[in-house]
Amino acid sequence: MIGILSFVGFTALVAIISYFATRTTDEKSSDGYFLGGRSLTAGVIAGSLLLTNLSTEQIVGLNGQAYTEGIVVMAWETLAAIAMVITAIFLLPRYLKGGITTVPQFLKDRYDVTTKTLTSVLFLTGYVVVLLPTILYSGALAISTMFDLPTMLGVSDSTALNLSIWGIGIIGSIYAVFGGLKAVAVSDTINAVGLLIGGLLIPVFGLMAIGDGSVFGGLDVLYQSNPDKFDSTGEITNSVPFSTLFTGMMLINLFYWGTNQQIIQRALGAKNLAEGQKGLLLASFIKILGPLIVVLPGIIAFHYFQGGLEMPDQAYPALVNAVLPKYLVGFFVAVLFGAILSSFNSVLNSSVTLFGLDVYKQHINPDATEQTVVQYGKIFGIVLAIGAMLIAPLISNAGSLFAYLQELNGIYTIPIFTIIVVGYLTKRVPAIAAKIGIIAGVVLYCFSQFYLQPMFVDGALEEAAAAGITDPEALALIKAEAYPHFIHIMAILFVLNATIMLVIGKIWPNEKPFELEYTEQVSIEPYKYVKQIGIVICLIVVALYVYFAK
């Protein structure tokens, strides 16, 4: 009962603060609703960035991978810091100079309307089919498990899961659809504080549990007993081989933190460039500490349960239930609930933005007033949320969702990132090159991962079976060597797509070079220490890998 009360109390507190912080925001205009009136400060941007990213897919999924593989999976967190630094220095100044609201809007200015529409549709497809249902499913699974809702409510597991899905979906929709970006960002900031506190409590109590009450004693026991878990250089059979850090891993992070609408929208709402850059830098520094929340608990769980869990993704919730005092469980679940809501309502808000500005305004009703655009954007958001809540229960194999999502997201990640990079670095590559780049990127990636990879892997495994090879480790190595890792494939296709675009630009260049006009919506005076702090953050990341390299 104490856990339920603390859960309800903290969740209600966030809602009340968000309401009072946003009640004076003009949300009848596009900037007011979609970008919080371009008034977000560094702290709000940093908190919202971190909470938008951090949800059950990361907390449960990455800790599950760390349970099996160790700190090698920290690449998803630490390289994100470098990607945010690059975004702050190179991408954000260009975005704010053009006064854009969505990333596809930049593509319209750089290429044409058709390119923008294709990109928006790709984003929306990825959000609707993959992200929103997955966030709902994995979040509901975590909440239902930690609160043991089937027993508490006297219902079946599937009923408890459905109730959790609709609860998260409805509350998240209220924030995102009716509150706009500022409500999302403010609630994110409050939850960010709670998540940092609650997230750090888990490894602290976990280390105390294995160290006879001492955190540092527990850390020493953990390291001495499991030295292989603290190797930053992944093997070819790992989910993140070390070689991928120099190929597609950096591209994935740059796309996510620099061009993904659900993430960069926070920085686009900055009151000026300096605040946006400070927000990104602050978030990047905190992101370096991310493995303490999304990697270390998984390793602690491996030691605590002696590797005896049936499923790796049980590691985090099992550790929470085992080491966290009961009076803190409600608070922690409330914080986790906030993280789930953050990811859901952030993706939903970005989808509403893309539809309202890049589809409805552009193609359905070009003469619509800004108030009408916001109104129909909200209607689309409600329909989208209901659709996601209906699809979410159909998702199975949640334990493998994190790795599965990363591979599936490559369908639109590399095509969009390629045309943005080429558009950013060149001035005469034409719109036709961008269209070909998008289509070729999607088709080639699907052909690679859904046809070539299964063909090569199945062939190698058949040969191994014929040779009488049955050792699991040997089979894993054969499977890994049969076809390049999907992160390498992303890098290969990025180079191939960019080359195609550049060749087209060489043969059929635009007559006039593209020049980005300054809209004067916000000041683009940069933060004077952005480069110095960015270099320090990058050096810290490199030092971490050197320190833990075996």
Q: Is residue 447 part of a domain?
A: no
Q: What residues contact 70, with CB distance under 8 A and at least 6 apart? A: 226, 228, 229, 230, 231, 299
Q: Which two tokens stand for residue 527?
A: 């933060």
475 phi, psi to nearest 5 deg: -65, -35
Which helix (DSSP H) or strand (DSSP E) does residue 116 occupy?
helix 113-126
DSSP assignment, residue 213? T
How far, in Å, CA of 105 to CA of 115, rounded? 10
Residues 101, 35 contacting (CB under 8 angstroms) = yes
Q: Is residue 532 part of a domain?
A: yes
DSSP assignment, residue 243? G
How far, in Å, CA of 138 to CA of 161, rounded? 10
Q: Is residue 236 part of a domain?
A: yes
SS3 49: helix
How far, in Å, CA of 541 to CA of 535, rounded? 10
How far, in Å, CA of 364 to CA of 120, rounded? 14
Q: Is residue 421 part of a domain?
A: no
Nearest to 195 by CA among 341, 346, 71: 341
Residues 207, 300 contacting (CB under 8 angstroms) = yes
Beta-bridge partner residues of 272: 523
Q: Which two tokens stand for residue 305?
A: 């349960």
How far, in Å, CA of 405 to CA of 403, rounded? 5
- Domain total for the chain? 1
Q: Is residue 238 part of a domain?
A: yes
Distance of CA 104 to the CA centre of its chain: 19
Q: Is residue 419 part of a domain?
A: no
Could you please report the per-residue DSSP string of 17-74? Answer: HHHHHHTTS--SSHHHHHSGGG-B-HHHHHHHHHHHH-SHHHHHHHHHHHHHH-GGGG
Residues 199, 335 contacting (CB under 8 angstroms) = yes
Q: Which two tokens stand for residue 494?
A: 């990025």
How far, in Å, CA of 108 to CA of 114, rounded? 8
Residues 80, 287 contacting (CB under 8 angstroms) = yes
Q: Is residue 43 part of a domain?
A: yes
Q: Is residue 241 part of a domain?
A: yes
Indicate which CATH number applies to the domain containing 99.
1.20.1730.10
Per-residue pLDDT of the chain (550 residues), as tens digits, is 555 565 566 556 655 655 555 555 544 444 444 444 566 788 888 877 877 677 777 887 789 889 999 999 999 999 999 999 999 999 899 888 887 777 777 888 899 989 988 888 887 887 777 778 878 887 887 777 777 788 888 888 788 888 988 888 887 777 655 554 455 556 666 666 777 788 889 999 999 999 999 999 999 999 999 999 999 987 888 888 999 999 999 999 999 899 887 688 778 888 899 999 999 999 999 899 889 999 999 999 999 999 888 778 778 888 988 898 877 877 777 777 777 777 777 777 777 777 887 788 888 888 888 778 777 877 887 888 888 888 888 775 544 556 667 787 888 888 999 999 999 899 999 999 999 999 999 999 999 999 999 999 999 999 999 999 989 889 989 999 999 999 999 999 999 999 999 999 999 999 899 987 887 778 889 999 999 999 999 999 999 999 998 7
Domain hosting residue 387, numbered range: 2-15+26-402+517-548
How far, in Å, CA of 52 to CA of 8, rounded? 21
Residues 405, 130 contacting (CB under 8 angstroms) = yes
